[in-house]
Structure 1
Amino acid sequence: MYIPFSTEKEGTSVHHAYLLQDRGYIDFISYSANQNEAIDFEESRNDRFLFAKDYIKDKTTKLKSYLKQLHIEKPLHLMTWNTLSGNTRYTNGTFFRGALVLKNALEISKDVQSLGFWINTELHEVGDIHHRIQLEGMELFHFFKGKRPAFHAMAFAEKLSGSIIAQGEDYIMTQYDGGYQLVLMNCTNINPYFSIEDAFLKKLNKDIRITISNLEHGEYQVRKYIFDKDNGALYKNWGNLSSIHGVDLEVTEYINRLSHPSMQIFDESIFGDWSFYSYLSINAIHFFDIRKTYNKSFI
C-alpha cells in the first residue's frame, strides 16, 4: 500500500487513513520523500536549503511514529526519493551530490527494507512529451548507459561492511574480519544554482586531518576511492567532450569508461595513532578500505 504522507500534517489523507484500518490486508507500506518539495529554487537565502537537509530522515521518522500510533508494524519501502538536485538540466548536472545520496541512504537504512530508483533517465522522462527533467526520483543510469552519481553512491553503500565502530555527522568507520573501512563525506546543502560559481564552491571544500587510534597493529594495504565532481561525475565528462556536431558511439563509450571513481593504493605500517589529510570538494566521498596484510610463505 502506498501512503501519501504529509510531514506538516504528520498524517495521510482521510481516504488512506480509512484504508489503513484494514491492516490485515497490508503486506508492506511504501512512501515517497523528495527534498526538492521542501524548498523554493528561486529563493537566494540558503537557510531553507539547510532546513531541507534532514527532510528524508525526518519524514521517515514521522511516518513510523504515525504508523505506531495506529498499531501498524509493516515493512517500509521508500519508493521514490531525491536529494537536492536543481530544477534545470544544467544545475542538475553541475550540482554534484554523491555524498548527499549516500548519507541519506545510510541514515534510513535501518528503517526501510528497500530504496527505489528509476533504471535510466530515458524511462524516467518518457511520460513527459517534452522530456523535461523529473525531480521526484533518481536514475541509476543516463540515456546512454553511463552510471549516474546515484549508482556509484549506492555501490559504496553496498561495499560498506562490518560493524560500526565510529560514526559522526560526515563520517562512518567499520571493522570487518580483514580490516577496517572508513567513509568521509563533505555533505553540503546549498542552492544548486550556486554550483556554477567556482569561487563560491572553493569556500565549501574541506581539507581535514584525520587521526585514528586503537587500530590493530600491523601492516596494511590501503585502497582509497575518490568520488567527486572531478572523479566519476558523468556530467563533467560530457561537457569536456561536447561538440556542436554531436557525439557518436565511440565517444559515448569513452565517456562512460571515464566516469568512475578514482582509486589510489598505498601501504601503511600502523603501530600507534594513524594520521593523514584528506581534501574533499563539495559533496565528495572518500572511501578507505584498510586491509590487514599477512606474511605468506610460498613453497
Structure 2
Amino acid sequence: MKLDECLDFLIEHQIGLGIEINPPKTRVNFKGYYQEMTYLLEHMYNILIDRKSLDLVVYISTIDEQIFQSLVKLFKNYFPHVKIVMNIDNGSEKHVRAAKYILDYHRKEIDNIGFSANQNDMINFKSIDNNQYNQSKKYIILKLKQIKQWLGLKDHSTPFTLLKWNTLTGNTNYTNGAYFRAGIIFEQLIEMNRDICMIGYWLNFEIHQQYCQKETVAQLHGIDLYHQFGSKRPAFFTSALFAKLSEHILYKNENCMVTGDFNHFQVIVWNAEHYNPYFTINDPSNDINYKEYQFNITNALPGMYKIKHYTLDQNHGALYKVWQQYNTRYGMDKETIDYVNRVTYPKLNISEIKVTNTINYHLKILTNAIQIIEFRKYFE
C-alpha cells in the first residue's frame, strides 16, 4: 500500500522515480535478489494504468557484466522506456576499468554514466596546509576527466550524471552550516555545465541524516536543498538562479558572465573563495569580506530598460545565520519558523533607466556571493 501511494503521488506531481540498484556481488546471492526485484516490478506493472506515465531511471552499481545484463533485461521487460545509468560509485581505477567492459558491450543500452565526487574526501582538515584547498577547486572536473580516460571516452557522446558531490564544508555540522558557499556552488555549476548533464541533491537534511545514520557527518556526502520545516538552503537559491540564466553566452571571464541577447541580457558576477571553512566562522565582521566591481557596457541599444537585480549572499538567503538568530534552547514555534522561511530569500531590487549609449554599474559583492543584474529593453 505504501508503494502504491508513492507511485500515485509521483505520477500526480509528474515526478520521476530513480531506483538505485546495489545487487549482491556473488551470483549465488543474486538469484534471491533477482526474484524479489521481479516481484516488485510485476506489482508496479499491474498497478500502473499507463506505464509511460512513470519516468523511470535505474542506477545500477555492479562490475559484473552478467548481473548488469540480467537487470537491464528485467527492467526493460516491464518498462521498455526505462533509462539505464551505469553507476561508477567507487571511482577507483580498478573499478572503472572493470566497468569499461560493460560499457564496451552494452553501450546502446546505457543512457548515462553516474559517478560521485566529493572535495572533502581529499582534504585533511587537521592540517593548515593551504595548498590542498587550492588543489580541491577543480576536483570534480579532474575526476570526470580521469574517469573518461579510464573508460576510453574521448568524445562528449556519452552523458554523465554527478550523483553525490559536495564542495568543501569542514568536517562538523557547525562548519557545514556556517560556511556560506553559494558562490562556490555556482562556480561548480558553470564548470560542470559542459560535460555533466544532470547533478544530484539531497532533498532535505532529515532524509539525508536518516540515509547516512552510520556516517559520522552525513552532510559531507552531499548537498541538501532544504533544511528542516521547509526551510530553503542557499544551495536551493543558487540552483534557482543558475536555472534563470540564458543559454546564449555573450561574454565570460573567471568571475563574470553575460548571457542573453542585446535586448534582454543578464550580467552575472560571483565570488568563489576556496579555503579552510574553519577560517570563515572566526571573523564575524563583513567590513573587509567583499570586493568591488565596476562594469561598463558600451554600444548598448538606446532606450528604456527595466533592471532586476538579484543578490544571494550572507545577508540575503543564508538560512543558517537567520536560523541561529531566532532559535532558542527549546527550538522555534511554528510562527517563528514561518517567519524565518519568509525572510530567508535572495534580495531583489527593481529599477528603470534610460540608456543612450553606455551602461555603467557598480557592485559590492560579499565573499561567496552571487549577483545577477537582468536588463530588459522596453519595446518602444
Q: TM-score, normalised to structure 1's length?
A: 0.89
Kept after mapping to 1: 8 A contact 2:171/2:217: no
What secondary structure does 1:2 align onto? strand
CA contact (8 A) 2:178 2:321 kept: yes
Native 8 Å contact 2:97 2:151 kept in 1? no
Find the aligned partners of 1:244 and 1:28 in 2 and give their Cα distance: 47
Q: Distance in 2 between matches of 1:83 and 1:37?
A: 10
2:370 to 261, 285, 293: 285
Question: Displacement of 1:17 after TM fit?
Answer: 3.8
Q: Tell me what 1:276 maps to.
A: 361
- Quote the residue 1:64 is aligned against: 148
Q: CA deviation at 1:132?
A: 4.0
- Give the Å deviation of 1:60: 2.3
Query: Identical aligned pairs, as a percentage?
Result: 33
What do residues 250-278 of structure 1 show as CA deviations (whole Å, max 9, x unaligned)?
Answer: 11111111111011112222222322211
Distance in 2 between residues matched to 1:273 and 1:77, nearest whole Å: 42
CA contact (8 A) 1:11 1:66 kept: no
Bigger Cα Rg = 2
Q: Which amino acid aligns with 1:240?
A: Q
Find 1:238's aligned residue among 323, 326, 331.
Answer: 323
Task: Identify which range, 125-134 or 276-285, moves more after superposition.
Answer: 125-134
Q: Does 1:179 align with 2:264?
A: yes
The residue that corresponds to 2:334 in the other structure is: 249
CA 1:21–1:176 in 2, change beyond 3 Å: closer, same or farther? Answer: same
Q: Which residue matches 1:27?
A: 111
TM superposition shift of 1:38: 1.8
Partner secondary structure for residue 226 of structure 1:
strand
Pairing of 1:124-143 with structure 2 (within 5 A): 124-127=208-211, 128=213, 132-143=217-228
Q: Deviation string for 1:230-268 (max 9, x for gaps)?
A: 101100110111212321111111111111101111222
Partner residue in 2 for 1:216 = 301
- Contact 2:234/2:319 (CA < 8 Å) preserved in 1? yes
Say whether the 8 Å CA contact 1:162–1:177 is kept in structure 2: no
Cα deviation per residue 1:69-113 (whole Å; 9 max; x = unaligned)?
488942211111111112211111111000111111121112122
1:146 counterpart letter in structure 2 = S
Residue 66 of structure 1: how far off its partner (Å): 3.5
- Tell me the distance in 1 between the aligned counterparts of 2:371 and 2:320: 20
- 2:312 — aligned with what? 227
Count of aligned pairs between the two proteins: 293
CA contact (8 A) 1:202 1:281 kept: no
Paired AA for residue 157 in structure 1 = F
Q: Equivalences for 1:91-110 in 2 at 5 Å?
A: 91-110=175-194
Conservation of the 8 A alpha-carbon contact between 2:96 and 2:150: no
**1:13 Cα deviation (Å)?**
4.4
What is the alpha-carbon distance in structure 1 between the residues aligned to residue 263 and residue 150 of structure 2?
41
Task: State whether residues 100 and 151 of structure 2, in contact with CA within 8 Å, keep that contact through their aligned partners in structure 1.
Answer: no
Unaligned stretches of 5+ residues in structure 1: none
Higher relative contact order (CA 8 A, sep 6+): 1
CA shift for structure 1 position 197: 2.4
What is the rounded CA distance, in whole Å, between the counterparts of 1:115 and 1:234 in structure 2?
22
User: Runs of 5+ in structure 2 lacking a partner?
Assistant: 1-85
Letter in 1 for 2:112: F
**Bigger fraction of residues in helix:** 2
Q: Could you state the TM-score of these two structures normalised by the residue count of structure 2?
A: 0.71
Q: Secondary structure at the match of 1:107?
A: helix
3-state DSSP of counterpart to 2:88 = coil
